[in-house]
């Protein structure tokens, strides 16, 4: 890890990107003061009875960054490395992300510092319900709407929805999104993030005159978003040559059979051991020559230390914050086209919005409608960001931040200051 990166946490990096965009917008100081920092921060202690009968204490967080455009919206992650600074950064990015795709939500985020891989289903349920109870004063369909994130899923959302509903005395399906279909979930939600990555990557290829057919694709992080994006690109006849998960990286210069790889990952829990693929190192994976690189793991995957070795023409940020500002500069100078996270991976929150709308209306759409609406939102947002990039001669990231921040600034000016 570089010294510069070690000195900055995720929230500081988020603020740095905010300042770059705010400066480019010549945003007035009063508005900066109102929209730069989180509105609410809740830290909770979660005593949980484990299967062995002992009580173990976990720490959880929920941050609402900005609600000027609507209820806070953002996932909940369970991970050993969850910190308050990380959650603040993720909530900040969610504010700009929702504004970039022009949906009426603000930014929120939650997390619990734990290792869900070491916990039983019963322990996860008890911890989830305890966490939901602890953040209950902050959440609700008109206040703050959680969703799945790293190591959380539809079942965990169902437990949160049930915990909230039991305290209210009636079912409240709109309190979370990413729920099971039978509890008011939306068709297409599970693959929405990866599908959004595909739509924006497709738009980038069209802009750069790179044919998707035969384009070499490298996916760092073969989880939900990464595997769906890989599958859709493979279906469009791109060549997925390398993928990685948290344990291994595999490579085949002639292309991996993505549907079979997805089945292999489902059955074994890992990409390792996939027939016809060789094992490579994480550093080698990022340095592969390719048309499309999809960082779909965690923050800060590409830094000033390894950005110089990246040879991708398009970098589609399926993860949140996978590039540091220093890496951005290096890759921009090399001519890489970066699709920033707040645009690239906004498919998840967009279909979460669709789910919330369906829950509030008690009227549900078919999958074709969801996909068509999502494609329209993602391609329109891509065009909006590229327009700012070209007109203002800024990077794609700064352009996306400018778009999101300008929309939040506009609502803040219109609403004014209370009291």
Report the catalytic residues.
109
The whole-angstrom separation of Cα 340 and Cα 227 is 19
Residue 221: phi and psi, rounded to 5, are 105, 90
Token pair 């931040």 is found at 401
Phi, psi of 410 (to 5 degrees): -65, -45
The dihedrals phi and psi of 143, each to the nearest 5 degrees, come to: -115, -55
DSSP string, 302-365: B-TTTGGG-EEEEEE--SSS-B-HHHHHHHHHHT-EEE-HHHHTTHHHHHHHHHHHHHHHT---
C-alpha distances out from residue 249 to 226, 285, 307, 348, Å = 13, 7, 18, 25
- Give CA separation, 202 vs 105, 141, 199, 291, 377, in Å: 26, 33, 5, 12, 14
- Distance (Å, rounded) from C-alpha 303 to C-alpha 15? 17
CB 103 within 8 A of CB 196: no
Report helix, strand or coil for 286: helix
């Amino acid at each position: 890890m570089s010294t510069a990166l070690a000195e900055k946490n995720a929230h500081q990096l988020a603020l740095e990107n905010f300042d770059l965009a705010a400066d480019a917008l010549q945003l007035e100081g009063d508005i900066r003061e109102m929209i730069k920092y989180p509105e609410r921060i809740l830290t909770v202690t979660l005593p949980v009875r484990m299967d062995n009968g002992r009580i173990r204490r976990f720490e959880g967080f929920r941050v609402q960054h900005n609600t000027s455009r609507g209820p806070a919206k953002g996932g909940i992650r369970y991970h050993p490395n969850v910190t308050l600074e990380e959650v603040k950064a993720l909530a900040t990015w969610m504010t700009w992300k929702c504004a970039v795709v022009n949906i009426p939500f603000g930014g929120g985020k939650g997390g619990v510092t734990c290792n869900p891989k070491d916990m039983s289903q019963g322990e996860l349920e008890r911890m989830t319900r305890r966490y939901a109870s602890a953040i209950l004063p902050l959440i609700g369909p008109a206040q703050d709407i959680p969703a799945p994130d790293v190591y959380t899923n539809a079942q965990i959302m169902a437990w949160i929805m049930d915990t909230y509903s039991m305290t209210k005395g009636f079912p409240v399906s709109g309190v979370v999104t990413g729920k099971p279909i039978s509890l008011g979930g939306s068709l297409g939600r599970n693959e929405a993030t990866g599908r959004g990555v595909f739509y924006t990557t497709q738009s980038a290829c069209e802009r750069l005159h790179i044919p998707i057919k035969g384009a070499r694709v490298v996916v760092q992080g073969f989880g939900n978003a990464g595997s769906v994006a890989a599958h859709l690109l493979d279906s469009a006849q791109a060549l997925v040559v390398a993928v990685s998960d948290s344990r291994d990286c595999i490579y085949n210069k002639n292309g991996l059979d993505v549907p079979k790889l997805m089945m292999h990952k489902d059955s074994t829990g890992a990409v390792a051991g996939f027939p016809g693929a060789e094992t490579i190192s994480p550093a080698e994976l990022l340095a592969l020559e390719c048309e499309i690189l999809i960082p779909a793991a965690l923050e800060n995957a590409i830094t000033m230390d390894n950005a110089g070795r990246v040879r991708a023409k398009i970098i589609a940020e399926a993860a949140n914050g996978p590039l540091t500002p220093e890496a951005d500069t290096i890759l921009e100078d090399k001519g890489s086209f970066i699709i920033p996270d707040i645009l690239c991976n906004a498919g998840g929150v967009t279909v979460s919005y669709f789910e919330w709308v369906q829950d509030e209306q008690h009227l549900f759409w078919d999958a074709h409608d969801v996909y068509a609406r999502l494609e329209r939102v993602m391609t329109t947002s891509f065009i909006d960001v590229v327009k700012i990039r070209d007109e203002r001669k800024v990077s794609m990231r700064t352009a996306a931040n400018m778009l999101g921040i300008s929309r939040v600034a506009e609502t803040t000016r219109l609403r004014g200051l209370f009291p």
